Amino acid sequence: MKRQQTFTDIEYANRKRRTKMDEFLEAMDAIIEWPEWCAVVEPYYPKGERGRPPRGVEIMLRMYLLQNWYNLADEAVEEAIYNTYPMARFMGIDFLGDEQVPDATTLCKFRKLLDENGITKKIFETLKDFLERHGKIMHGGSIVDATIVAAPTSTKNEKHERDPEMHSVKKGNQWYFGERLHIGVDAGSGYIHSVEVTAANAEERSEVPNLVREDDEVVYGDAGYCNMENREEVKNDPHLSQIDWRVNSQKPYTKSAPWAPGEGIRWHRFFEWQKSRVRAKVEYSFLIIKRIFHYNKVRYRGIQKNRTQAYMLCALANLYMLRQSGFVGVT
């Protein structure tokens, strides 16, 4: 999105040091294929035939991305754009031309549009096609894993109850209430290729068929995915039954393990280490989503709304990894 340079831009360009936000948003602006992303939204976007003319698709997409990158509420992201020059510059708003930031209500309606039409999933698939065209995704192997995202436990609402679609689950000695985010990651490149969201009490192994690609021959996972080859849905599927399941063992392969004496324990430990060093790539995707994008607690009620946001966050995580790989955009 191009705009006329202002005196503020000239003054800001004379700084001795650029901020991390400035560098990040500039890199994202260069990497994202805006015409492709806007083309996904435009068939569902209001044409402005009645009522107030709608804001442009691209400016609303940019505002929605800022909200997800910095984990901001509708009112907070509107306020942040007014207060923060790099965000306003990323939005491409020309305040000299009496153009203003879309208000929180407009962003809320835009997010509802994305949710009702499954647009974030389409954007996620569009980005996957982009990575395929540029040779960034390998095939033949996947890594599957899941993480729990907490939901508000407060009952201080009109119905005096928690979100009915979220559930509790015990992990270790601690109970968690929320959702479970399942992802499938390319074993070679680390990019996310499959996403699913369920309640926290859903079994991890039951979602594996939705995360494995048709051309996968090897699947990695932690000890929570043990005995996948013995499950009925795997045995009855011609593709899944032929997969080599390289899952970490539940047994502690240590030198003092009483069940495995002798030198053979070194080979067991070596094999487990080899599986873990590949499987660790999926943890980096969760680090980006939960630590860098601060998605530690769900913002919306219901699985569907949070699934919509999960697809967007996974697409943005792929963009983040693409930027770190040195990709600077299509010239």
SS3 per residue for 269-318: HHHHHHHHHHHHHHHHHHHHHHHHCCCCECCCCCHHHHHHHHHHHHHHHH
Residues in the chain: 331
- Residue 46 DSSP SS3: coil
Q: Which residues of 166-192 are buried (b: 16+ CB within 10 A; e: fewer)?
A: bbebeeeeeebbbbbbbbbbbbbbbbb
Beta partners for 178? 150, 167
Q: Which residue, among 115, 68, 121, has the nearest Cα to 289 in the 3D structure? A: 68
Pull the structure tokens for residue 190: 């680390």
**Interstrand relation of 244-247 and 218-221 (parallel, antiparallel or unpaired):** parallel
The confidence score (pLDDT) of residue 27 equals 94
Pull the structure tokens for residue 188: 């070679």
- Alpha-carbon distance of 65 to 87, in angstroms, equals 11
- Alpha-carbon distance of 108 to 146, in angstroms, equals 28
The confidence score (pLDDT) of residue 265 equals 66
Q: What is the DSSP letter of 52?
A: S
Q: Which residue, among 69, 109, 108, 63, has the nearest Cα to 82 in the 3D structure? A: 63
What is the Cα gyration radius of the chain?
23
Whether 193 contacts 184, CB under 8 Å: yes
The confidence score (pLDDT) of residue 96 equals 72
- Alpha-carbon distance of 314 to 288, in angstroms, equals 9
Whether 88 contacts 64, CB under 8 Å: no
- For the entire predicted model, the pTM comes to 0.91
The confidence score (pLDDT) of residue 2 equals 57
The confidence score (pLDDT) of residue 263 equals 56
Q: What angle do CA 311, 317, 318 make, to 5 degrees?
A: 95
Digit-by-digit pLDDT tens for the chain (331 residues) are: 555 666 667 667 777 788 899 999 999 999 999 999 999 999 999 887 777 778 889 999 999 999 999 999 999 999 999 999 899 999 988 777 777 899 999 999 999 999 999 999 999 999 999 999 999 999 999 999 999 999 998 888 888 889 999 999 998 889 999 999 999 999 999 999 999 999 999 999 999 999 999 999 999 999 899 989 999 999 999 999 999 999 998 765 555 554 455 556 677 788 888 899 999 999 999 999 999 999 999 999 999 999 999 999 999 999 999 999 988 876 5
Q: Which residues of 195-207 are buried (b: 16+ CB within 10 A; e: fewer)?
A: bbbbbbbbebbeb
Pull the structure tokens for residue 25: 């948003």
Residue recorded with tokens 């991390």: 20
Whether 25 contacts 6, CB under 8 Å: no
